[in-house]
Amino acid sequence: MDSIDREVLERTLEWVRAGHRVSLVTVIQTWGSAPRPPGALLALCDDGRVVGSVSGGCVEDDLIERVRKGGQPDKAGLVTYGVSRDEAARFGLPCGGTLELIQEPVLKTTWVEELLSRTAAHELVARCLDLETGQVSLEHVDRAEEPSFDGRQLRVVFGPRFRLLMIGAGQLSRVLAQMAQAVDFQVYVCDPREEYFSTLELPAVSYLPGMPDDVVLAFEPDANTAIVALTHDPKLDDLALLEALKSAAFYVGALGSRANNAKRRERLAMFELSELQIDRLHGPIGLHIGSRTPAEIAVSILAEIVSVRNGVAPVQKKEDQR
């Protein structure tokens, strides 16, 4: 689950516990150039406060006005915007777009608490809403799936946030950490070298002491994890890669020239990693954008990680790179 969805659910709990009536609004289908995708969430408090987004702003304004005039709904129901071109323009839906939503009152918060707890424990969870009864159920799923609505049941999968584990606490790590947070990664840093570790002071970054191989094992990388080796020290980078390449991490990369990465692959093969596992390594790391400064290199690395996360082949590479 990204940080916006988590904030929506956390604020929902906060408002309900404070005695407010709250409804959740979920995008279920779009036509044309609607600005938010299916599954996008918004929480609407009875005093007009909102968190999250289902459009560019005009739809939110109308939902707030509805609540102020008529109060929160008593049961879940469909809300549609943009049926006509004029209405689409009024609500900021370009090209005659249409937006179909489900608005549901939050009458019980048990499922909200459980969903937040289970996703925080890195579980992938499907939330199912029965539109007729208003009942919400949660179930474990093994893989992500697109939101779906069959006319009665809404099903949306929530997962843990994406994590980035950086091996090395140098200047590049500092810039990359800040950029990665901006695209919703939880960032972690491992570096057993005290002289590096002690000077990297960044808010909301977790520091993991220990040797890189032990840290990667304890981290339990999943399909929402990216791992990058940035120390330029084979004794540290290779330790991390030996475990990272055997894990479920969706991205594993290492800093270094083509020559250094060729040598690294030879070393990894000596430790009984399979050819398939070694081929998972992105090295030299990052897209080819002519980067030279730490900030430019960080842009290159993060662009490649995001492209892999989004299922887009990272084609902007130098020859013989992965």
Q: Where is the domain boundary, 136, 158, 180?
A: 158
CA pair distance 267, 273, nearest whole angstrom: 10
Task: Give the CATH number, domain containing residue 256.
Answer: 3.40.50.720
229 in the same domain as 140: no
CA pair distance 195, 134, nearest whole angstrom: 56
Asked if residue 86 belongs to a domain, the reply is: yes
220 in the same domain as 129: no
119 in the same domain as 107: yes
190 in the same domain as 147: no
236 in the same domain as 214: yes
Question: 105 has which bridge partners?
Answer: 23
Q: Where is the domain boundary, 158, 178, 210?
A: 158
Sign for the CA dihedral angle at 37, 160, 133, 152 comes to positive
Asked if residue 314 belongs to a domain, the reply is: no
* pLDDT value, residue 194: 79
Among 261, 268, 266, which residue's Cα sits nearest to residue 246?
268
260 in the same domain as 170: yes
Asked if residue 320 belongs to a domain, the reply is: no
Model confidence, pTM: 0.77
Asked if residue 322 belongs to a domain, the reply is: no
List the 148-149 sheet strands across, edge first. Answer: 136-140, 125-130, 153-158, 148-149
Provide block-wise average pLDDT over 10 residues at a time, the chain (322 residues). 85 96 92 72 94 81 88 92 65 65 94 94 92 94 88 92 93 94 93 78 87 95 94 92 96 93 92 92 91 94 94 72 49
Find the domain containing 27 and state its range: 3-158
* pLDDT value, residue 176: 96
Those residues with Cβ within 8 angstroms of residue 206's Cβ, 6 or more apart along the chain or in another chain: 186, 187, 188, 189
294 in the same domain as 168: yes
Q: How many domains does the chain have?
A: 2
* pLDDT value, residue 161: 85
Asked if residue 30 belongs to a domain, the reply is: yes
239 in the same domain as 106: no
86 in the same domain as 177: no
